[in-house]
Structure 1
């Protein structure tokens, strides 16, 4: 109980091996993990949501639905660490396009934003941002690709549930163009299931960063957790796990609050 109370005050104690406050180290590592999660979310959303919607609208089509469902199954079956190693071998070792390790100077980018130097030295700022994105490409694709499979399956189920509703059949019976039925009615009413997907996605993405950051040797909470466990630095490991848990709780709370914004039928009293 005392540890939980101190954790709410962001006091996770001191590292056993280094002696510095755990909260300070977490504050430096969390932005790296957050950037990776956001980048992988973009990849998963751009790939998974359209695939899920198209698969649902072309249900049981041997040329569209079945190949897309096979793609989702392959993505679910493919471990993120295996895909990460494969990407490193191909694009880093053989083609020498992307770096093997590192995460770019994200701390420098944040400092330039905080101090306003991004406006004073725009060239240096854009170069630093480009370097961060350069180091982020392979990890974001590896994590985002595996997450896209989950997102596509959930999106497909959500769209199938929506298009089977009476108001969709009524709109079609009135002679509305299929495109209008999908964009005006189906996608709008799909927002609530999509919000549920966001909550699930964050939990999966955060756990996926542990393997992704370790494989690509990126700084972040995931790699910090692995290193802390290997060094038996229990306060550091407990702090990382607590931050992961608190992040998932906060995101799910925000998702529950957004339900009332998206769907007027839902109210909180």
Structure 2
């Protein structure tokens, strides 16, 4: 197990370096000048040139790249051009709302998708299966921002049940915390519920046709044990795979959802940094998300080994 972890970690290093390089080059090719943004519209060319020199933006591209990579290898994500604060500090300050939204949405996804997928496979071609299949196709086809605005229109504007925007920390109480997260979590979870439900249904249909399932039923094993103890356990590998994919895809959904509901998380930090041409913040946040991506993939690999020990050999 230890050797597997070490191999996966070493394999992740080139991925992180490639991501950092691509992000660096894309930001430098983007239109706009951070020095002009900092100096303001009324600043002189001398002031702008001085700011550009202080930020090393007047250096050759290869030197800028070497400076950025050197800081990254030392664990330094840089300093924000606009706020002059360390990027790591900005990320840690915004990490709470993002983690709360992502974890709540993923928990909601798993609690809804797996039971619906299992029951849909059990009641194959019955009314529940047909309704679930049609609903998942619809949910998977609608973009997240459309779902968010529809939920706001129905539950906030028309029914006045839930707030439109904002975030309340958990320290202020569980009730207000969940009250503000209901609509964002539903928005973010919709597409992933559809995806995981379809995969769970397909995997369960394959397993329910196996001989050991028919044998268990012939022995009189209760149906709930057949479904959840025998069938679901053997169908877990593809379900775990798609949950891992959903967690990594959640990153892009977080950016959109936080923007819609005005949640002060890492996603909104990226949007603000892109608009302000704050290179270090954009690069640091994307690297942070790439680290999460690598960690999730490593965790999925380890879960594979636990589900099927043959994979380690």
Q: Normalised by the size of structure 2, how large is the TM-score?
A: 0.73
Contact 1:199 1:248 in 2 (8 A): no
Query: Equivalent of 1:229, from 271, 274, 284?
Result: 274
Query: Equivalent of 1:50, from 82, 101, 115?
Result: 115
Tell me by how many angstroms 1:174 deviates: 4.1
Q: CA RMSD in A?
A: 2.0
Query: Equivalent of 2:167, from 94, 99, 103?
Result: 103
Aligned to 1:252: 297
- Secondary structure of 1:250's match? helix
Partners of 1:54 and 1:40 in 2: CA distance: 21
Contact 2:165 2:263 in 1 (8 A): yes
Structure 2 residue ranges without an equivalent (≥5) = 1-16, 18-65
Partners of 1:162 and 1:8 in 2: CA distance: 47
Contact 1:12 1:22 in 2 (8 A): yes
Q: Which moved more, 1:209-218 or 1:3-12?
A: 3-12
Distance 1:67 1:141, change over 3 A: same
Q: Which moved more, 1:32-41 or 1:178-187?
A: 178-187
Query: Equivalent of 2:130, from 46, 66, 73?
Result: 66
Tell me by how many angstroms 1:24 deviates: 0.4
Partners of 2:70 and 2:248 in 1: CA distance: 23
Tell me by how many angstroms 1:173 deviates: 4.2
**Bigger Rg, structure 1 or 2:** 2
Contact 1:101 1:218 in 2 (8 A): yes
The 5-angstrom pairing of residues 178-217 of structure 1 reads 178-217=223-262
Aligned to 2:286: 241
Tell me by how many angstroms 1:5 deviates: 5.8
Tell me by how many angstroms 1:8 deviates: 5.3
Tell me by how many angstroms 1:73 deviates: 0.4
Partners of 1:4 and 1:148 in 2: CA distance: 38
Query: Equivalent of 2:307, from 244, 262, 267?
Result: 262
Structure 1 residue ranges without an equivalent (≥5) = 110-126
Query: Equivalent of 1:168, from 193, 202, 213?
Result: 213
Partners of 1:83 and 1:242 in 2: CA distance: 28
Contact 1:37 1:209 in 2 (8 A): yes
Contact 1:30 1:221 in 2 (8 A): yes
Aligned to 2:143: 79
Contact 2:140 2:190 in 1 (8 A): no
Tell me by how many angstroms 1:175 deviates: 4.6
Query: Equivalent of 1:14, from 79, 93, 99?
Result: 79
Partners of 2:260 and 2:92 in 1: CA distance: 22
- Secondary structure of 1:64's match? helix
Tell me by how many angstroms 1:211 deviates: 0.6
Q: Does 1:33 align with 2:76?
A: no
The 5-angstrom pairing of residues 66-145 of structure 1 reads 66-106=130-170, 109=171, 127-145=172-190
